[in-house]
Chains A and B, each alone.
Chain A
Amino acid sequence: MSEAALHSFVTLQLIFILAALAHYLPLSMRQLDVGIVGYFAVGAYVSAIFTRDYEMNFALALALGAIAAGIAALIVDSLATRVRLSGFAYAIFSLSFAEALRIILNNTSYVGGTAGFAGIPAETTLIQVSLIFLVVVFGFWLLDRTRLGALKTAIADDEFIVPIFGVPLVATKLVIFVLGGMLGGLAGGLYAHYVLYIRPDNFGFSLLIAIQLPIVFGGLDRFYGAIAGTLILGIVPELVRGLEQYRLIFTAAATVGVLIVRPSGLITFETISRARTSFRKLARGIHPNG
């Protein structure tokens, strides 16, 4: 791989990890928020409109894109939580939002319709994406150590028992959903200013598959499962010669395989605690299996 190709591969991979983390946030509550492709699209289009048509500062446009996506998430999810949608009904609900948005974008001539939105200024650089990535990872690390993070896990375990302990279930869920939506919008904005040409059909079901399957592959217990999954399924097809064409098949087959063997994904709570114990033993100079 040439240096330029490697450069763009790493940038796009980091953007996809950001999107995967955005999708992981609701998934860590076991809510399949399929709207992620919609939030990604909202972030991409809104920030691109601001930088192209209003010549706005890139950082500000990114923030506005993220906020717009957060608002979209707030609207969709407050409708959903109002009637306590959960499980597959919620997945279908958010999917309809994403698909409806795609059809509306396809019919909006201001953003180019099916022909796509071109002429986006090139703003995203690898350094920016890496910095944002580090900040986001640190944010996730912090989130796992806050009350909100603990509530997230509690909701994942049993969302009907949580309100009994006086926790505002709907508000907690909404906060997580909106955070996920904003992160998705941010990733979308970065994506739009890197590929410079977007069209509504980029943000369809196949993008969802590309974002979601690696997370399930990596495991839902910890956020680094999502990162590891996206990295493994992103890098392996690049390394193995002749696999690029079968990339999606490889991703899907690997996911089904992992689901059959390890239903909770590659990295689980158990893996982490086991790794931690053996690491401690190693640090103390004891053989891991001794």
Chain B
Amino acid sequence: MGTFVQQCINGLTIGCTYALVAVGFTLIFGVLRVVYLSHGAVLAASSYLGLYALAYSGSVLIAIATGIIGGALLGFIVEYMTVRPFRGQNHLIPMVATASVATIIQEVLRLTFQGGQPIAYPRAITSALYEWKFSEFRIYVTLGQITIALVAILLVVALNLAVKRSWMGRGIRSVADSEWVSSLLGVHVNAISAQTVALGSSLAGAAGVLLGLTVPAIDPHFGETLQFKALAITLFAGLGSVPGAVIGGIMLGLVEAFASGYLATSYRDLFAYVMMIVILSVRPAGLLGRQPAQRV
């Protein structure tokens, strides 16, 4: 029973970060119809920024804020290079272009920070352990885990408000419905496109810092796996669905936690891919998604 609850808590926290990454990913896909493969690289870059902010300021909150701002800025740049020039073209082109820019970001990180050797975040700040004693078992929660859960919930709620209740959100929703009609009605599609990618990337930036606080060490490529997990979650939840991405992220986190708790740890990463294969070969538009007419 103790292991079960402990794995639940571990799964929930890691699931929160997956949800953050997946929400950003699904937002960008839902609005711009671009499979945005720079997400993982932006996440890794923000994670490095957060590491340095943490080292200079010593405050986790400043590190997270740096990650968010850095992610948003990188998002602007990547959008300008890879999404904007290829709007309306075969969707494989922005996919390849974002993958190329991701390679550039990763290589710059590798050449800048210690030749790509894994770097660990300072442990002392987040490893403060809280212990709950129940009649027959004990549960351990670290300060880092609590921070992750709180920040993730806060950010997803903030994003939801920004999309549902703000002028920018109104523009984003209109572009998601129809780029062409919204440009006729005077919405600046270019600006909305940049804002969407920046919003999604800022979530990835936050997730980068939060993950840096929990994983043993970060390296330039640690975002890649996460990006593909985000893809799996997005497919699972239906492309473009934000609540689906949150649920899917937390579910994947739980599944992985139980798998590494009860089965072999080395197979943990396999679940996301098996999930993608099964879902795509049964329901190509995602498990909970409507089956839309594919644009050729």
Q: Which residues of A contact B (CB under 8 A)?
A: 30, 32, 79-80, 82-89, 91-93, 95-97, 99-100, 103-104, 106-107, 158-160, 205-206, 209, 212-213, 216, 245-246, 248-249, 251-253, 255-256, 259-260, 263
Knowing A84-B284, A107-B266, A260-B85, the reply to whether A92 touches B90 (Cβ < 8 A) is no
- Nearest B residue (CB) for A82: B281
Contact, CB under 8 Å: B101 / A256: yes
- Nearest A residue (CB) for B100: A252
- Chain B residues contacting A96 (CB-CB under 8 Å) are 228, 232, 272-274, 276-277, 280
Distance between B102 CB and nearest chain A CB, rounded to angstroms = 8
The answer for the CA separation of A97 and B274 in the assembled complex, in Å, is 8
Contact, CB under 8 Å: A88 / B96: no
Contact, CB under 8 Å: B81 / A256: yes
The winner among A79, A107, A251, A256 for most chain B CB atoms within 10 A is: A256
Contact, CB under 8 Å: B93 / A213: no
The answer for the CA separation of A30 and B104 in the assembled complex, in Å, is 25
Contact, CB under 8 Å: B89 / A83: no
Contact, CB under 8 Å: B284 / A107: no
- Chain B residues contacting A255 (CB-CB under 8 Å) are 96-97, 100
Query: Within 8 Å of chain A (Cβ to Cβ): is B260?
Result: no
The answer for the CA separation of A253 and B102 in the assembled complex, in Å, is 10
- Chain B residues contacting A249 (CB-CB under 8 Å) are 103-104, 107-108
- Nearest A residue (CB) for B224: A205
Query: Within 8 Å of chain A (Cβ to Cβ): is B185?
Result: no
Distance between B223 CB and nearest chain A CB, rounded to angstroms = 11
The answer for the CA separation of A104 and B274 in the assembled complex, in Å, is 11
Query: Within 8 Å of chain A (Cβ to Cβ): is B231?
Result: yes
The answer for the CA separation of A140 and B284 in the assembled complex, in Å, is 32
| 22 contacting pairs across A/B (C-beta < 8 A) | A30-B92, A86-B296, A87-B295, A89-B294, A91-B95, A92-B235, A93-B276, A93-B280, A96-B228, A96-B272, A100-B273, A100-B277, A103-B273, A158-B296, A213-B100, A252-B100, A252-B104, A256-B100, A259-B85, A259-B97, A263-B89, A263-B93
Majority secondary structure, A binding face: helix
The winner among A79, A96, A205 for most chain B CB atoms within 10 A is: A96
Knowing A83-B281, A159-B296, the reply to whether A30 touches B90 (Cβ < 8 A) is yes
Knowing A91-B95, A256-B97, the reply to whether A83 touches B280 (Cβ < 8 A) is yes
Contact, CB under 8 Å: B280 / A213: no
The answer for the CA separation of A259 and B99 in the assembled complex, in Å, is 13
- Chain A residues contacting B228 (CB-CB under 8 Å) are 95-96, 99
Distance between B96 CB and nearest chain A CB, rounded to angstroms = 5
The answer for the CA separation of A146 and B147 in the assembled complex, in Å, is 62
Distance between B110 CB and nearest chain A CB, rounded to angstroms = 9
- B268-291 vs A, CB cutoff 8 Å, 1 = contact: the mask equals 011011101100111010000000
> For window 67-109 of chain B, which residues contact chain A by CB distance below 8 Å?
81-82, 85-86, 89-93, 95-97, 99-101, 103-104, 107-108
